[in-house]
Chain A
Amino acid sequence: MVRFENVGLRYGMGNEILKDISFEIEPHSFQFLTGPSGAGKTTLMRLILLSLKPTRGLISLFNRDAAELSKDQITDLRRRVGVVFQDFRLLDHLTTYENVALPLRVQGRDESAYRAEVVELLRWVGLGDHMHVLPPVLSGGEKQRAAIARALIVRPELLLADEPTGNVDPTLARRLLRLFAELHKSGTAVVIATHDLALMDQFETARRLVLGDGRLHIYE
């Protein structure tokens, strides 16, 4: 599904912040991406999402060599990936409903075809009462759930979540994690970037990708 071979990344003429990164993400797999703050977790997520180009090495997404993809092909592949950003990145002028429906809207789908699905998902993540609320009045946890719902609405084959529990209390964090587990059971490959050890301990069977000093260590 995702394959990195000797990938390196540097910004400008600076030192490499990611060195010789090689790993694969299999379909239906579940893994944590962890490491200290500033280790490059978000950067690695952006490389997977093809929003950054590596300085060297090979990246393939859904068995397609990223270097040979056109912008339109990258867009097509991104539609198969759900992303939860660390800072939510909800659009403040759109309601919760509109934010969650955004990935479907940009695909040009008719709203009547997905309205019920979006409402159902919003209720499922506990935002049924906040559908017409703008993000600035949502709490951190509610924004987090809205961001997660937006990532899930396209039923992604791969879910990338960057610190998805960073802004919620432990109880809600556990619930969110169970939500990701449910998604994994339904066949979605999940990558969760976190430095929350307690969270990872809840899923001891999950693979751990540990970033440190720009290198990746894998613990199966």
Chain B
Amino acid sequence: MIYAQSDERRDFGRFADDASAGMRKDVPLVPAASIAGRALVTVVAIMTFLAALTAGAAMLIAHSADDWRGQVAREMTIQVRPETGRDLDADVTAAVAAARAAPGIADVYAYSKAQSEALLTPWLGTGLDLSELPVPRLIVVKLDPKTSLDVAALRKAVLDKVPNATIDDHRLWLERLAVMAGTVVVIAFVVFALVMLAMVLAVGFATRGAMAGNREIIDVLHLVGAADGYISRQFQRHFFRLGLRGGLIGGGAAILVFLLSSSISALMRATAGGEQIEAMFGSFSLSANGYGVIALIAAAVAVTTGLVSRIIVFRHLRGLT
């Protein structure tokens, strides 16, 4: 090189023998202190927390709805009403036989007279003589999940022999559950999308602020030959780190909340109220997949934060003349 052979080398003579000279590892071209990092990390953490809570709650409800649906769909109920001139016990026996003969039935269990009367105890109290009351008899039909059941054929077979029977396949409940679960998922998706949109907007504002605060640096980078893509990658790298930090904090907090709710729910299971709540809303414990989804949300937040800043910077630089 020219300066290696030049006489000027002597003129500037103070040569240090610095063998360790070099670039600091990963020193950012956009100084971290010039970006409102702490505020953005806080915003991203809150947004991630809300998004993770929404997704987790939706998964819990969808899981509970699936459980209900599974339990209800695996059973049917035949109700045999007492009718004048008919032998109720004979009707029950005939209905049980008709049900057992149908394909797709795993088990048939008829409630005895005493058991049927016992079902009324919570409403009518104990110590009453219910023998004079026309208490209908219930037959629980458990379905074989491996074989498909022809409900219409079963209904016809039972009604042919026992016209005073009614068959409830819980279709109404199933439809309501499907609608409810679907509504919850849609609401959760909308909330999730809104939270993500708010986060993207926050990252957008922070990126524009960072660009305004680093205009001089961007100008110098341009003039020393940096391409727009290179400069926008510098911003992306920085914002990705901020997003990752916020995502880990928010996602970690959400995981903690679900772990806590799962523990509290387990502690309350022993109580009567706890049992009812668990029957209605499930165990409040997220599956491993659920925790995986929260981790994915945190990762997606970090990637989105970096990408959004990169796109905004790149588009801004391309628009400069």
Q: Which residues of A contact B (CB under 8 A)?
A: 49, 51, 53, 71-72, 75, 78-79, 83, 85, 89, 91, 93-95, 97-98, 101-103, 105-108, 111, 115, 117-126, 128-129, 131-132, 145, 150, 152, 154-155, 175, 178-179, 182-183, 185-186
Q: A108-B230, A115-B21, A120-B1 are in contact. Are A182 and B217 (CB under 8 A)?
A: no
Interface residues of B in 262-321 (CB under 8 A from A): 317-318, 321
Bound: A135/B307 CA distance, A: 32
Q: Is B119 an interface residue (CB 8 A)?
A: no
Q: A117-B1, A124-B3, A182-B8 are in contact. Are A129 and B16 (CB under 8 A)?
A: yes
Bound: A131/B21 CA distance, A: 7
Q: Which residues of B contact A (CB under 8 A)?
A: 1-4, 6-9, 11-16, 18, 21-24, 27, 29, 31, 33, 216-217, 219-228, 230, 317-318, 321
Bound: A79/B321 CA distance, A: 18
Q: Give A172 Cβ to nearest chain B Cβ, in Å.
A: 9
Q: What 5 pairs between A and B have smallest CB-CB spacing?
A: A126-B12, A106-B226, A128-B16, A79-B225, A186-B2
Bound: A108/B114 CA distance, A: 86
Bound: A128/B321 CA distance, A: 38
Please tell me which one of the listed residues B27, B223, B230 contacts residue A49 in the complex, with CB atoms under 8 A apart.
Answer: B223
Please tell me which one of the listed residues B8, B33, B220, B225 contacts residue A175 in the complex, with CB atoms under 8 A apart.
Answer: B8
Which residues does chain A contribute within 8 Å of B220, judged by CB atoms? 89, 91, 102
Q: Sample 25 A-B pairs with CB under 8 A, ordered by A number.
A: A49-B223, A71-B227, A75-B222, A85-B223, A93-B27, A94-B29, A95-B24, A101-B23, A102-B220, A108-B230, A115-B22, A115-B23, A120-B1, A123-B15, A124-B6, A128-B14, A129-B18, A145-B12, A175-B8, A175-B12, A178-B8, A179-B3, A179-B6, A182-B6, A182-B7
Residue pair B230, A121 in contact (C-beta under 8 Å) = no
Residue pair A128, B225 in contact (C-beta under 8 Å) = no
Residue pair A123, B16 in contact (C-beta under 8 Å) = yes
Q: A79-B225, A91-B217 are in contact. Are A71 and B21 (CB under 8 A)?
A: no
Bound: A105/B228 CA distance, A: 14
Instruction: Name which residue of chain A comes closest to B8, CB basis.
Output: A179
Residue pair A124, B21 in contact (C-beta under 8 Å) = no
Please tell me which one of the listed residues A94, A152, A175 contacts residue B3 in the complex, with CB atoms under 8 A apart.
Answer: A152
Across chains A and B, the number of contacting residue pairs, with CB separation under 8 Å, is 121
Overall SS of chain A's interface:
helix
Residue pair A155, B18 in contact (C-beta under 8 Å) = no
Which residues does chain B contribute within 8 Å of A53, judged by CB atoms? 321
Instruction: Name which residue of chain B comes closest to A115, CB basis.
Output: B22
Which residues does chain B contribute within 8 Å of A103, judged by CB atoms? 224-225
Q: Give B297 Cβ to nearest chain A Cβ, in Å.
A: 33
Residue pair B24, A106 in contact (C-beta under 8 Å) = no
Which residues does chain B contribute within 8 Å of A123, judged by CB atoms? 12, 15-16
Which residues does chain B contribute within 8 Å of A102, judged by CB atoms? 29, 220-221, 224
Which residues does chain A contribute within 8 Å of B27, judged by CB atoms? 93-94, 98
Residue pair B223, A129 in contact (C-beta under 8 Å) = no
Residue pair B223, A131 in contact (C-beta under 8 Å) = no
